[in-house]
Amino acid sequence: MKKASLKQVALLLLTAMIWGGAFVAQSVGLDYVGPFTINAVRFLIGGLVLIPCIAVMERVQDRDGQKRDRGSGRDLLVGGLCCGLALCVASNLQQIGIAYTTVGKAGFLTALYVVIVPFLGLLFGKKLRPVIWVCVALALAGLYLLCMTAAEGLGKGDILVLLCALAFSVHILVVDHFSSKVDPVRLSCVQFLVSGLVASVPMLLLEQPTVSAVLSAWQPILYAGVLSCGVAYTLQAVAQRDCDPTVCSLVLCLESVFSVLFGWLLLGQALTAREWLGCALMFGAIVLAQLPERRPAA
C-alpha cells in the first residue's frame, strides 16, 4: 500500500486550507450569479491559468535536463475527461445542495467521502491497514461534533450533498488512478477545462448570466478559479501521485475544519467547546494515519 510522505501531507493540508477559504468565496459569489455560472467560470479560469504554468515548468525541466515521463496523450485525454466529469458533477451537486440546507450539515455530509473512499477502494481490491478504520471513525466523530449542531432530518439539499460526497469519492479514486500515468499538472488543466465546458451548458440554458453580473462577482470567482482550482486541485493531483487515497481523503476532509476556523478568525464566529473537540479528533485521526506501520518481528 502506498504511504504518504511529510511533503505530501503538507501539500494536502495546504489544499484543504485553500478549499476551506473557498466556502466564503463561493457563498459570496451566489449573491451575484447562479451555481452553474460560478463553477463554469471558475473551472475555465483554473484551466487557463495552468496553461502558461505548464509551459514554464516544462521549459525549466528541459533546460535542466530533467527527463520526466509525462504519459501518453490518450491517457491524459481519458484521465482528464473522467476526472473532469466527476469533478463537475460533485461540485454542482454541492453548490445546488447548499441552497437547500445549512452550511454545517453540508460540510458534514460532503466530508463523508472520508468514509466512502475506503469502501469504494475495497471494490477495486485495495487493502487497508486496520488503523485506517480507526482514523476514519475518529474523523467521522470529529466532523459530527464540528458540523452537526442540530438534530434535523435529511431534506432535499442533504440528499444532493450526500450524492456530492459520493461523486467526490469517485473523483479522488479517479485522480489516484490517472495521476501515476500522466503529469498531474497537465491532468488538472484538462479536468478543469472539461468541468468548465460541461458546466457551461446548464449555465447557458438555465441561468443565462450577464457579463455585468459575472464581473460583479469577480473577486470570489477569481479566488475560486485561481486558488481553489488552479492551485489547490493541482496540489491534490501532485500529492496523490504516490499516496494512499484513503490517507489523502482523511487530510483533505480538514477543509471543513479550516472553513470553521476562517469563520472564527475572519468573521468573528467563535467556536464552541464541542467544535474545538471535533477539530481535535480530526487532527488526531490525521496524526494516527501517518504513524509508521509496525511490522512483526522476524
- Output the pLDDT for position 1: 45
Question: How is residue 29 written as a grid cell?
Answer: 459569489
Q: Is residue 156 part of a domain?
A: yes
pLDDT band, residue 295 (cuts 50/70/90): low
**Do the domain assignments include residue 252?**
yes
Neighbours of 184 (CB within 10 A): 23
Quote the longest CA-to-CA distance of the chain. Answer: 70
Report residue 160 as a C-alpha cell. Answer: 444532493
297 occurs within a structural domain: no
Which amino acid appears at position 49 of this protein?
A: V
Give the Cα separation of 14 and 147 in Å (integer): 21
| Amino acid (one-letter) located at 208 | Q
Query: 35, 30, 91: which is closest to 203 by C-alpha?
Result: 35
Which residue range forms the structural domain that includes residue 195? 6-64+72-290
Predicted confidence band of residue 128 (pLDDT cuts 50, 70, 90): confident
Residue predicted with more confidence, 237 or 1: 237
pLDDT at 234 over 90: no
**Does residue 298 sit within a domain?**
no
Q: What is the tens place of the pLDDT at every residue in 200-223?
A: 999 999 998 888 988 888 888 899
Domain assignment present for 134:
yes
H/E run at residue 230:
none
Q: What is the mean pLDDT of the chain?
A: 80
Output the CA angle 169-236-279, nearest 5 degrees.
70
What residue ranges in the chain does DSSP mark as E strands?
Answer: none
The pLDDT value given to residue 44: 94
Domain count, the chain: 1
Residue 40 has pLDDT above 90, yes or no: yes
C-alpha span between 252 and 111 (Å, rounded): 9
What radius of gyration, in Å, describes the C-alpha atoms of the chain? 19
The answer to whether the CB of 105 falls within 8 A of the CB of 152 is yes
Please give the angle made by the CA atoms of 14, 104 and 10, to the nearest 5 degrees.
Answer: 10
